[in-house]
A and B are shown apart, each in its own frame.
Chain A
């Protein structure tokens, strides 16, 4: 008899618990965001929620490739910020976003950089060095990640795509795979976004790419058609596009200039991003070398990231 009573009580208790939880509802925005933007967007969330205490932001972090299927099936969500404009355009095509403006809705950009393991064992300095025999190159799979498409574009432009492809020893499904492989010396070099490179400051060397081959990737944000809290979603989007929002992205090694001149293919035309590249290279030095000065002049906005990684041997926060 006693066990029966306990059983019934626990049943009542657990259902009560679930119900009370369900009633605690505020205005919760559902934000579909690419995994790669997690660091920056978590900061955006903290600042935004402090500014607008009655709005809460719930993220649904996934790989960018998962979103179209998710949104198609569920028809849920307020904002959308995938890791490449390509995915957002897919959503526009399917009518999930109606008022996307490709001129103004870009809060940040990815910039491509070369990374090599610590010490740069194969002495890679430029794009052309990837064609040298015996260099183990990591490439992304163009079917599953945007970086793969950019690898092909970059090396084709340099006219060495066939040689690089024969040097390739891995075909990554997502960009962190390339970062981790470089960190563990499984490859001698690869090209990744600056935002990925900045996560491995202690274990990789960062080499900026010359303008001609430096890719600038647009990172858009948009409010979905079936947003439940359209006004609030718009507020958050405006915040992300504001100077304050952009600064948060800048601290995570995104380029945040309003306009970056690029050619038709998306390669950089002038020195707009040079300063950010210099900060990035210095940040890598600062984490590896204890006596390197860490201040606004040397590492610029990356100061927080540098301090975070200096804190522990294996990166955390």
Chain B
């Protein structure tokens, strides 16, 4: 009886701990086994190729630009969804959420709809370029997929800030704009940083939409996940494995960077 009393409930933390450790171990094993498969000399070979780093920078700059535009849309949209009460609010919120819940493949397929309409057909005539067959297509897909995601995360960040601060600021005579920039935004800073990095990672991982809408041009539109798929199709397992490792390192450093900068939201 006594034994039962002293160990009562201990199994639960032990179980949780074991599960966490085994997940961690399996992830590490996954990475390690792939790295062993690649071998040291091949690691050096592939990591020193310019093709790898060209694609790396392509991924980095496209997802940075699309994250920037996503934030331009996401911050006001998230604020509006969080603070304003307007008719059909829930309906509007669910429409904005659409690109999160539908598959990116659907986004890719639907983007064809606008590229054949005004003003995009005019632009493509005038400048002699196909919207969506170059790096702008990549940006467009990334932006479309991440903007909604960004708005949703921003809403969560703004929801965490009590409305009281804004009411005080307004009652002291500050305009809504000033209140937003001087009170709300600084308070939401950590949440915004955290969301920004999640959005960036999401943009860098986008692939399905690209496959449908853009297609790959070597060195121009094949960001890393797409390049991995392409090389898998050509049996280049060396490229596949080494680029996957770079992707993992990229993700790990993005998340660590977020923690160092001090990003915090109710997701992380």
Contact = CB atoms under 8 A, between A and B. Distances in A.
Chain B at the A interface: SS class: helix
A200 B232 CA distance: 12
A176 interface: yes
A39 B234 contact: yes
A233 to B, nearest CB: 14
A58 B233 contact: no
A247 B107 CA distance: 40
Assign chain B's interface to a size class.
Answer: 35 or more
A199 B109 contact: no
Contact of A315 (B49, B68, B113, B237): B237
A39 B230 CA distance: 11
Given A38-B233, A180-B235, A316 B128 contact: no
B45 interface: yes
A25 B115 CA distance: 18
A4 B177 CA distance: 13
Assign chain A's interface to a size class.
Answer: 35 or more
A316 B235 CA distance: 8
A312 B133 contact: no
Given A314-B241, A316-B45, A199 B214 contact: no
A42 B218 contact: yes
Contacts of B60: none
A312 B115 contact: no
Contact of B220 (A38, A58, A75): A58
A136 interface: no
A315 B45 CA distance: 11
A122 B132 CA distance: 48
A58 to B, nearest CB: 5
Given A313-B39, A316-B45, A70 B212 contact: yes
Contacts of A14: 65, 68
B114 to A, nearest CB: 11
Contact of A314 (B42, B217, B220, B234): B42
B237 A183 contact: yes
Contact of A58 (B42, B45, B134, B238): B134
Nearest to B123: A22
Interface stretch (A61-69, A96-104, A123-131, A237-245): A61-69
Interface of A: 4, 10, 14, 18, 21-23, 25, 28, 30, 32, 35-36, 38-39, 42, 58-63, 66, 69-70, 73-76, 174, 176, 179-180, 183, 196, 199-200, 228, 311-317
Interface of B: 37-39, 41-42, 45-46, 49, 51, 65, 68, 109, 112-113, 115-116, 127-130, 132-136, 181, 211-212, 214-218, 220, 230-239, 241-242
